[in-house]
Structure 1
């Protein structure tokens, strides 16, 4: 029988065997099937185990490269922490309170285990993922209702060999999961940071400390974990990022999640974008700016109703924008050529695609573009919207109300 380390070879053999029986499965599907055959929930978890010479299965023996230590443990229902992040935990379950008290009285280190299902009140080993986080207690506050607020700092990834309730609360046998050696991938770092900037702006995330950190470091693993901490993903998706031990692979996965090139413009917004460029061409402007775009959005099938729901005076808004384009942009008039969108215009398109993905739109609409305008706080376009008392909050509210009405 093959050793579990030959999982990929087993997957290939499985595919070939099924093909002879006229059954075709993909390579990824075969990896998932082999993972389950070895008693592991999914390939990402098994891959993490393979990188440390470890497997969690009641059928096969366990061999570890790292020493095992026993820690107090805390099961997390709907949260995935990452190394270096500081985060609060509110602890209320009896076994969790006992574990936190034991950790606070000892070395102040504990294992954070991520639950597979948030509905499980008394998790066992089978109910938590195989990769967790070793964390340090920074501060403990006992609340009046008997629960505990714990300020915690993530230290490093660990593999879980066990997780169980004892008389002293939850505890876990865990061992360190060493990351792959550092690698240099400047182009990947640059692209991921640029895409994350758009993502942060689209989601209204204000993180000045993060941007200064990115300027100071080129630690790919730390960059990836910093992004993953702040991204709005499901517990399963975040866990999959936690379980990737190769820093470059982890950042590549995040970069792919941030890539919005596959989200197309709807026909209506495609026409609006072309109309914005045409507004610039007719004035012989070298660039199409956000003011050209906003003027086009006032006639967009999706954006105009949102502006009206925000009580904007579209006639006055169009006049203000037209006056600005005709009187204030003389310095970008050229003799020949066609207008090119400014960097800000392109940023709005990327953020609009991110917003479309977030709200579940199959394509980018003018309403998504309207939302994506607001992070460009220095642009006259945003100032003209503010003069109409149109804010990001009011636009979000109008879009949500319209969506609820459509579903109703």
Structure 2
């Protein structure tokens, strides 16, 4: 037996064999049976023994005289990992599976390279970006469809010198890169801390440990990588963060991406927001709510097109919204003053800007605001959308077809 993968394979074979004889056991039970068959008390003990044996016999990566090294490699289609992050990889291509085998037989290190185009099935050097990530393999799990799930941890950036197949397995020749000196960036880090709080709030992300991390480190590059790992961005934008070697420049890029004031807003969506606020003022409501915004979105050219593509009757939706505003918000009527957007209104507006960034829109539109509204699941606006057949899934399909 070479390592824990063979023990897991034995457990899977045992489980399948028993199933054919109408004996059903769980995956964990099959692992325990295999452990006892091999004379070990339990699976945890066997796994630890096999991991220890693998570490003791691990062979180092091949070092070349030119200060480069050759590692097994995995091309990633739609994902950009960063140093210090732990991340899952789903592997199915034959060349990639073979590279995994070579990595597990060695020091469990491989290079993650990023494909320029996800549609390329057999990438070569010209099909991948120049900067990759040397990673440590932690765990491998076979999946029922014949592919594998791998847990890996990013170690450090490397520059590719070559990327090809050797004995049908991907491998890369790489050289370490210098990331430059770390300089004091307390003011910039403080600003990013504040802006990233807005980002996580807009996306509903709870990350208390991250705030502790911000308090304990002043490493500009590490902070930039930690934030970049958690941001949703087009692959090209994420890769640019990976390829920005200078820690200060990388931190400045993060700051710019988190700065919503720099996101252009379409003229139509700006008019839609103004219409929502004016409607709240006309009704003398103290607050402009998501229902005011949704009513305005029914007249937004792009957002209304998506709602119609979901088979929504916009006239009936407007009637429901007007009835809610007239009857349910009577207690918010004031004699004087302008309506203030509610916290939910502001969240949706913020989230719309981030969504536009994530999908690569050149400007924020009413479509982004409509999609952002679905996250406010407890709001009457989201409930009314659902009642009229407009769901996040149906909206995404319509947008995927080019509607709006």
Q: What is the TM-score normalised by the length of structure 2? A: 0.66
Q: 1:253 to 1:314 in 2, by over 3 A?
A: same
TM-superposition CA deviations, 1:118-156 (whole Å, max 9, x none): 7594745x7765532221111235689997653322122
Distance 1:267 1:142 in 2: 51
Alignment of 1:187-226 (within 5 A): 187-195=191-199, 197-198=201-202, 201=203, 208=206, 211-218=207-214, 219=217, 221-226=221-226
Distance 2:166 2:301 in 1: 61
Distance 1:111 1:327 in 2: 61
Cα pair 2:158 2:174 within 8 Å, conserved: no
Superposition RMSD on alpha carbons, in Å? 3.8
Match of 1:251 in 2: 251
Match of 1:312 in 2: 312
Q: CA deviation at 1:339?
A: 1.4
Alignment of 1:55-134 (within 5 A): 68=67, 70-78=69-77, 79-83=79-83, 84-90=85-91, 92-94=93-95, 97-114=97-114, 119=120, 121=122, 123=124, 129-134=129-134
Alignment of 1:368-383 (within 5 A): 368-383=368-383
* More moved, 378-387 vs 311-320: 311-320
Match of 1:229 in 2: 229
Q: 1:195 to 1:255 in 2, by over 3 A?
A: farther
Q: CA deviation at 1:222?
A: 4.4
Q: 1:215 to 1:357 in 2, by over 3 A?
A: closer
What are structure 2's unaligned runs of at least 5 residues? 1-65
Distance 2:117 2:312 in 1: 45
Q: 1:376 to 1:106 in 2, by over 3 A?
A: same
Cα pair 2:348 2:373 within 8 Å, conserved: yes
Q: CA deviation at 1:290?
A: 1.0
Cα pair 1:82 1:225 within 8 Å, conserved: yes
Q: 1:347 to 1:80 in 2, by over 3 A?
A: same
Match of 1:170 in 2: 171
Match of 1:336 in 2: 336
Q: What is the TM-score normalised by the length of structure 1? A: 0.66
Match of 1:274 in 2: 274
Q: How many residues align?
A: 329
